[in-house]
């Protein structure tokens, strides 16, 4: 059975007992920016769902839990907005009273809403990542 070498080594390196690693033939390409968006959006959606689960497990009344969920979701929105957060402070960030009014005073609906994200944005991020990966299909040697 014949063995194949994974990389070329010079005769000198064999004699010295040291291994030399050749440079790759093609430079390594950076990860596509679409994948960063997809990873960030996926993390955002998972954290939003985690907020809903954790706030339900918090001690206190259902209204206290709804308050935790509402505040945590508004903080997550600030985090997700990144450097633009100071300019978008308060945009689409309802207070607990506004959220309770929207859901007819039902604190469980507020907790449930804290775990929902925009499926269109999530799907767009996944589609961009899939398209980015598909465009590179077949470029490997």
Angle between helices 107-114 and 33-57 (to 10 degrees): 150
Q: Is 93 exposed, middle or buried (0-12, 13-18, 19+ CB in 10 A)?
A: middle
User: Model confidence over 30-81: pLDDT tens digits?
Assistant: 667 778 888 889 999 999 999 999 999 999 999 999 999 999 999 999 999 9
Quick one: pLDDT at residue 15? 53
By the 8 A CB rule, do 103 and 116 touch?
no
Here the tokens at position 91 are: 């945009």
The answer to pTM > 0.85 is no
Q: Tell me the average pLDDT across 1-9.
A: 46
Quick one: pLDDT at residue 28? 63
CA 126 to chain centre: 11
């Amino acid at each position: 059975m014949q063995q194949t070498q994974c990389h070329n080594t010079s005769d000198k390196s064999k004699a010295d007992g040291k291994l030399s690693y050749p440079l790759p033939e093609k430079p390594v390409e950076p990860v596509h920016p679409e994948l960063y968006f997809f990873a960030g959006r996926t993390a955002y959606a998972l954290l939003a769902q985690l907020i809903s689960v954790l706030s339900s497990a918090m001690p206190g009344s259902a209204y206290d839990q709804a308050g935790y969920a509402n505040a945590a979701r508004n903080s997550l929105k600030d985090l997700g907005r990144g450097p633009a957060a100071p300019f978008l402070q308060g945009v689409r960030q309802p207070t607990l009273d506004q959220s309770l009014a929207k859901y007819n005073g039902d604190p469980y609906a507020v907790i449930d809403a804290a775990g929902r994200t925009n499926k269109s944005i999530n799907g767009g991020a996944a589609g961009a990542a899939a398209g980015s990966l598909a465009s590179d299909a077949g470029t490997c040697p």
